[in-house]
Homo-oligomer: A and B are copies of this chain.
């Protein structure tokens, strides 16, 4: 069946079925995304439901019409999953009014939040009860947990605490037929049928709309330690990670690799951000440990051992919260600096951990063959997840490289494929990477995905064109 564009009579039907002010013309912010690569259609409409019942009513009516729905969270996604630039005009459905933290239970280590709750608010609600919600990423001040779940967001603490799916115990969601699935369990063990929770997590709104979640909290480590260590190479960084694991087990919450290019972009575009080392080192890692005793001592110990083994050349252990914030600020401002410089092409890739040094070396060679380009390679080394972003030579503009863009992307993703890696480690597929999924994805898995999509959303109303071609 073909989808219809929103019509005046459909808007009337929606308005009659819902309380006032739920259906409105979409502000421009609903039609944009952070990198400006996708723009929503003029004249778009947004639904702002207040309850899961509102959501169910809207989905039911859209399924009957049938009219497409684009679920909308914080709007911080980087692959165009939240913006539908073409096709029959869809209804944008924003979860922003479902933003209550329904419960925080420190004994059970569970927090229940509605989909529109901003991630930082969830972190704060957990902290208020002396617990931690471990998901942490640059957009945490504006992204919403529903979007984090829909895209299975990663971030800086995955090494210890896992991806968003690992932090979720249960979901409440509206399926494409408009029925409400009450799966808001807070159980640690529940083997009663297919794992619908994990199927919706990471489906990017194409199989249903998540409206609330039961989330796992963790004890807050008594002692948090943060250090920057200068390493001679990515291989040394990897060996340092292995050494750290031997010394402190799974207490390492973050292990972030930064190539010189990142801090250089920050220095160039954001001169107010303090650079911790007088000269920017070629490679450094940002390490964070959470222990029950003296994490700083453990970091100093690691530093000494790393020096002895030739894995570390210099280092700084944060002496107070201010310094800790400063180290993180450098890391978290790299994406901002990247945006100001203007990339030719960005890649959110992962490879098996052991392949990271090889990948970086060979990637650099292949990019150099294509032209005069700069590579900013940084990211979550502990997860094998690199943001491998390619930039114009100094003084040149990204538009100069338009004819090269597809080649750059192909070269990077082909290399990733060679290592059985992923062309989308943590950002998802959205609309941007649909062709990559078709090219690099396992065909048997793709066929299964299409079968599942047809089974749950036969008319294809849910986020049309995201993940799978509409």
Q: Which A residues have a C-beta under 8 Å from some C-beta of B?
A: 105, 107-108, 110, 151-152, 154, 158-159, 162-163, 165-166, 175, 179-183, 185-196, 198-199, 201-203, 207, 218-219, 221, 238, 242, 245-250, 290, 292, 350-354, 380, 382-385, 420-429, 433, 436-437, 440-442, 444-449, 451-452, 454-456, 467
Contact = CB atoms under 8 A, between A and B. Distances in A.
B425 A189 contact: yes
A446 to B, nearest CB: 7
Given A183-B442, A196-B445, A221-B249, A189 B163 contact: yes
Contact of A350 (B154, B163, B187): B187
B354 A107 contact: yes
B444 A175 contact: yes
B185 A448 contact: no
Contacts of A385: 188-189
A180 B448 CA distance: 11
B422 A187 contact: yes
A436 B192 CA distance: 9
Count the copies: 2
A110 B195 CA distance: 24
A399 to B, nearest CB: 29
Given A186-B352, A385-B188, A193 B250 contact: no
A449 B194 contact: yes
A188 B158 contact: yes
A128 to B, nearest CB: 17
8 contacts: A110-B352, A187-B421, A188-B382, A189-B425, A189-B426, A190-B350, A193-B467, A219-B249
A218 B154 CA distance: 20
A174 to B, nearest CB: 9
Contact of A446 (B154, B193, B455): B193
Contacts of A427: 191
Contacts of A383: 188-189
A460 B219 CA distance: 45
A441 to B, nearest CB: 6
A443 B293 CA distance: 48
B191 A428 contact: yes
B448 A191 contact: no
Nearest to A194: B449
Contacts of A221: 249
Contact of A384 (B152, B188, B382): B188
B107 A350 contact: no
Given A192-B437, A194-B203, A452-B456, A185 B422 contact: yes
